[in-house]
Amino acid sequence: MGAALCLLSAACFGVMAIFGKLAYDAGVSPGALLLVRFTLAAVLLGIVLLVRPGLRRAASSSPLRGAIGRSTMTRARVLSIAVGLGAIGYATQASLFFSALQRMDASLLALIFYTYPVMVTVVAVLVGRDRLTPARGAALAAASGGALLVLLGAGGVSFAPTGALLAFAAAITYTVYILVADTVVHRLAPVVLAGLVMTGAAGTLVALALLTGGVDLDFEVSGWFWLACIAIVSTVAAMLTFFAGLKRTGPSTAAILSTFEPVVTSALAALVLGESLTPVQLAGGALVLSSVAVLQLRRSGTRRQELDLRPTADRHALGNHQATDPARDDHAEPAFLAP
């Protein structure tokens, strides 16, 4: 379930580039796109929490994930970190990303931005938050190589130094964002965490708009439709599934699985924008998908070994305990979908 949630999140994020291109065609500016995206997402998540108050409760984290690299935090500190993730991290990353998009081709931007899974994995290993097993290293190499083939297979890109610097800065910012999010994702319900992040990001962009004289919201009606798609699909749904997946897989695996995003973008560009998929891109997509299989085989093998090492009575107790605790079972229904 954790891998499936990460892949669904990547697909939701992957379609954002298509929605963004269609919004730009309708006269939407990058500033308006960001402001409306985060404000609408924050409002939608607030409505969901009002209608479904049960979604405010966070399920207990698993003993293994909860014990690794986590110190006790006060409730106030957890909430402030969640808001800061949006106000500083996500707002900065999104601003850098769309600023780079104005200066360079989307394929080259994605190529530079998707260095972040490598950075997340390396940093997580160095600080003791994850282990670089041979299987995970192979999955990272396959996913990164596949994303590289998908993006280079498009061809015809133009290089802009300023855009490249902005794209790399966005990758670094997103690396920090994922690692910080991993420290609080077990302490808040996914809907609450996503709502706080969106509220923080919206607050930063509203303040920026007021300081710079506002943004132009006078664009075509179709522009509002594409902005709604970005807010609902590529922000609310994408973030909820990402946090739920991160909670179950850890930062390295979540980052590796996120390399599915450029595969989705390229496939949708072929379907919606009439771009063609080359054999190189198809081969890259197959490599990215193979990394998912490697990660799933590693998880299944590790789990079988752990169960085989336990006494019979302990294995029965573990099975009964997990059957009643969805947060400790990768096959359970995600917390934000629970009744």
- Please give the structure tokens belonging to residue 191: 């809907």
Cα–Cα distance list, 90 to 33, 84, 184 (Å): 14, 9, 15
Q: Where are the domains of the chain?
A: 2-337
- pLDDT tens, position by position, 193-225: 989 999 999 999 999 889 988 888 888 899 999
How far apart CA 275 and CA 267 sit, in angstroms, is 9
Whether 186 shows a pLDDT value over 80: the answer reads yes
pLDDT at res. 163: 81
- Please give the structure tokens belonging to residue 108: 């080259």
Whether 118 shows a pLDDT value over 80: the answer reads no
- The pTM of this model reads 0.69
Summarize the confidence of residues 19-41 as an average pLDDT. Answer: 89
Contact present, 230 and 33 (Cβ < 8 Å)? yes
CA nearest 125: which of 255, 289, 284, 223? 255
pLDDT at res. 86: 93
How far apart CA 74 and CA 229 sit, in angstroms, is 36
Question: What's the chain's length in residues?
Answer: 339
H or E element in which residue 183 lies: helix 161-184
Contact present, 240 and 268 (Cβ < 8 Å)? no
Contact present, 100 and 153 (Cβ < 8 Å)? no
Using alpha carbons only, what angle is made at residue 306 by residues 71 and 189, rounded to the nearest 5 degrees? 40
Contact present, 98 and 208 (Cβ < 8 Å)? no
How far apart CA 185 and CA 248 sit, in angstroms, is 10
Whether 46 shows a pLDDT value over 60: the answer reads yes
Report the amino acid identity of residue 208. Answer: L
Summarize the confidence of residues 53-80 as an average pLDDT. Answer: 65
Q: Work out the burial of residue 159: count CB atoms within 10 Å of its CB; fewer than 13 is exposed, 13-18 middle, 19 or more buried.
A: exposed
Using alpha carbons only, what angle is made at residue 20 by residues 18 and 22, rounded to the nearest 5 degrees? 70
